[in-house]
Amino acid sequence: MVEKQNLILAFESSCDETSVAVVRNGDEILSNVIATQINSHKRFGGVVPEVASRHHIEQITICIEAALNEANVTYDDLDAVAVTYGPGLVGALLVGVNAAKTVAFAHHLPLIPVNHMAGHIYAARFVKPFEFPLMALLVSGGHTELVYMQADGQFEIIGETRDDAAGEAYDKIGRVLGVPYPAGKVIDEMAHQGQDTFNFPRAMIDEDNYDFSFSGLKSAFINTVHHADQIGATLDKNDLAASFQASVVDVLVSKTLRVLKQYPVKQLVLAGGVAANQGLRERLQLELPKHFPDAELLLAPLKLCGDNGAMIGAAGYIQYQHQQFGDASLNADPSLEFDWMPNMPH
């Protein structure tokens, strides 16, 4: 048994990972159980929502039990239950939301509704405490955003993708390269073996805004490969991967450096699934100290870049401190956007 400190049981089921974690005081992971479904979705080349939902239903109670056992706690030790309620796949979200509501109701615990994207940012909270103001570069399968934070729980979107998110583009070109889903890690490894010989477009890199666009890059990539196929030419797959990744990283890093001129910050947080990309991590580690020596780079831990319950526990802890609770009417919100957390000072 552990002494009674703020223990949160946190649920994450927004896409294709079922995860339940026990987090103490918002910054210590006692357990973080993740049941991945990658093998089930591989054959389809992407996540199939109906398949994902069924897997969550099968895994959720197993994950709860495993998380409590690994943390060596019981329901009586818990102080609250946190859950992702959006954004994500509606069927997948509903499994986590209903499981969390059931546990909260049965054990008389407060229920904390957490924005999945806030969870990604707070994954970096396990590295060290946040110092404000900070900027988060949030890069995942469904989102690419620059988010400015003046205090805990205050999120202001400064720039976002207008079409495909970076992670989405990786998966789509992965199919063309014959790389199994999820393609990001393999393309990153291939990119380190190749050269940027194709000079793909750097969309919106010079435009006077902080938004992103990756659909043109995806099209240019696919057209290059299809044209080569038609004329019987063989292209170096590592060079293709390197050229694609160079374009993505150039745009992400240049826009991030530019936004920091307008919004001076103490910390830059890199978070989200694509934050595991070594090319992106390396470039930010190189460029940030050069241009902004006083800003500290916080990289979400590699094992917490993907979807996981611990990050939801970290974000949920902030809301727990501000008594921001949901009730039995809480529902999944698949297109949830960043907003001021309720009851937070503006």
Binding site for Fe cation: what residues are annotated? 116, 120, 307
- The token duo for 185 is 């890690």
Instruction: List binding-site positions for substrate.
Output: 138-142, 171, 184, 188, 277
Q: CA 338, CA 156: separation in Å to the nearest integer?
A: 7
Q: CA 198, CA 283: separation in Å to the nearest integer?
A: 20
What does the DSSP 8-state code read for residue 227?
Answer: H
Distances (CA, A) of 20 to 136, 167, 324: 24, 24, 20
Q: Is 316 exposed, middle or buried (0-12, 13-18, 19+ CB in 10 A)?
A: buried
Three-state secondary-structure class, residue 85: strand
Q: CA 104, CA 175: separation in Å to the nearest integer?
A: 42
Q: Pairing state of beta strands 17-24 and 28-36? A: antiparallel
Q: CA 24, CA 345: separation in Å to the nearest integer?
A: 25
Distances (CA, A) of 314 to 11, 78, 116, 124: 11, 15, 11, 9
CA 314 from chain centre, in angstroms, equals 14
Instruction: List binding-site positions.
Output: 116, 120, 138-142, 171, 184, 188, 277, 307
Q: CA 210, CA 212: separation in Å to the nearest integer?
A: 7
**Cα dihedral 54→58→60→61 (10° resolution):** 150
27 pairs with which residues across the strands?
none
Q: CA 142, CA 87: separation in Å to the nearest integer?
A: 9
Q: CA 57, CA 86: separation in Å to the nearest integer?
A: 17
